[in-house]
Amino acid sequence: MGPNMSALGKQHQAAAAMAPKRAYVTFLAGDGDYWKGVVGLAKGLRRVRAAYPLVVAMLPDVPEEHRRKLRDQGCVVREIEPVYPPESQTQFAMAYYVINYSKLRIWEFVEYERMVYLDADIQVYSNIDHLFDLDKGKFYAVMDCFCEKTWSHTPQYKIDYCQQCPERVSWPEQELGPPPPLYFNAGMFVHEPSLRTAKDLLDALVVTPPTPFAEQDFLNLFFRDVYSPIPPVYNLVLAMLWRHPEKVVLDEVKVVHYCAAGSKPWRYTGKEPNMEREDIKALVAQWWDIYDDERLDYKGAPGGGRRRRRGGGGGPGEAAAAPGPGPGRRRQVLPRAVGCLGAPPVAGRDDGVHPG
């Protein structure tokens, strides 16, 4: 079972007042359009009054124009050196996954005691600052789903087994051996920067053959003994909407991961499989509502950094937090699936997630 996350709201408020060394962090590479995702993420964090800055770990090939856009949105820009896996004939699930090994550099950001990593194609719809107060020494992330075709190389996919619904198909131990360990999606996780861990990661990478899901597979292998699952509301992989609808209540989702093919809001056409769904259309529109909201633009000094708390607000930058509900409560009523996700933790309330 995952960690006890009840009553963490009060804890993170007290911690924020003490100005701890904490930050959200994302990753950017190349001269493509992913900078739009980072801008959307920065504005989304402001909207939910996040108390900590957004650091962007970026490769040298990110053009200055894109860096300026991110600084203008209050992001802390940190250039990093690329990290490459050992040479091999491995075919990655997506060709661009090879650059994602460079995300390992965020363990070198030791000026921060704790960080919450978020992919650039993620949007935060409710405050998640309380994740910084989880017990140290564990690696926190949300379990992934094995049901999409990108998993076709795995035995899980071939036998229709998914850790999201292990009761649906029993793992055949006689044929395949012990069931695989829990596997997380690396689009969102809570980690503690450490030069020792950074060195251990890079040393391990040298002797670890690349696999189709690149750094995600590698991180799962490296942190398998300390991985602690957190509820899916902290990283809704969109495939859950059609693969496991009984487990999704959109009103309770805090973080949406636009990782399904065709779902990147800034590239969305609605033509790819499942992208014509009304819930997907609404989630894409909601991302654009945040991206286009000028009230959420950064109003502080250039270059980001810590800011004074003003009017009870919070978050990277000095924008006023615009009112607005989480996903599932916008202009239209989204299709809902009543399932087993716990309600989002709030101060003073037990969300039913306990250590085990």
Closest CA to 243 of 121, 171, 339, 321: 339
Is 355 a member of any domain?
Answer: no
The answer on pLDDT for 4 being more than 70 is: no
The answer on pLDDT for 338 being more than 70 is: no
Q: Express each pLDDT in 134-180 by its tens digit.
A: 999 999 999 887 555 565 566 665 656 666 666 676 777 777 777 77
CATH of the domain at 286: 3.90.550.10
Distance CA 98, CA 213 (A): 9
158 is catalytic: no
Q: Which of 79-88, 124-133, 173-182, 344-353 has the lowest mean pLDDT?
A: 344-353
The answer on pLDDT for 5 being more than 70 is: no
Active-site residue (options: 103, 138, 247, 264): 103
Query: How many domains, in total, are found in the chain?
Result: 1
The answer on pLDDT for 332 being more than 80 is: no
Token code pair at residue 15:
């911690």
Tokens 């094995």 -> residue: 146
End-to-end CA distance of the chain: give it in Å, rounded: 5
Model confidence at 247, pLDDT cuts 50, 70, 90, reads confident
The answer on pLDDT for 315 being more than 70 is: no
The pLDDT score that the predictor gives to residue 253 is 96
What is the DSSP secondary structure assignment for residue 245, as one 8-state letter? Answer: G
The pLDDT score that the predictor gives to residue 173 is 74
The answer on pLDDT for 353 being more than 70 is: no
Q: Which of 48-57, 75-84, 255-264, 310-319 has the lowest mean pLDDT?
A: 310-319
Is 338 a member of any domain?
Answer: no
Tokens 């989702």 -> residue: 253
Model confidence at 236, pLDDT cuts 50, 70, 90, reads very high
Average pLDDT over residues 308-335: 43
Q: pLDDT over 90 for what percent of the chain?
A: 56
Q: What is the mean pLDDT of the chain?
A: 79
Distance CA 356, CA 340 (A): 18
Sign of CA dihedral 292, 297, 303, 305: negative
- How wide is the angle at C-alpha 42 spanned by C-alphas 40 and 45, nearest 5°? 105
**Parent domain of 52:** 20-144+183-296
The pLDDT score that the predictor gives to residue 107 is 98
Model confidence at 222, pLDDT cuts 50, 70, 90, reads very high
Is 150 a member of any domain?
Answer: no
Is 287 a member of any domain?
Answer: yes
The answer on pLDDT for 13 being more than 90 is: no
Is 203 a member of any domain?
Answer: yes
- Residue 273's SS3 state is coil
Bridge partners, residue 190, by sequence: 116, 140
Is 321 a member of any domain?
Answer: no
The answer on pLDDT for 24 being more than 90 is: yes
The pLDDT score that the predictor gives to residue 179 is 74
Is 158 a member of any domain?
Answer: no
Helices (H) and strands (E) in the chain, counts: 9, 10
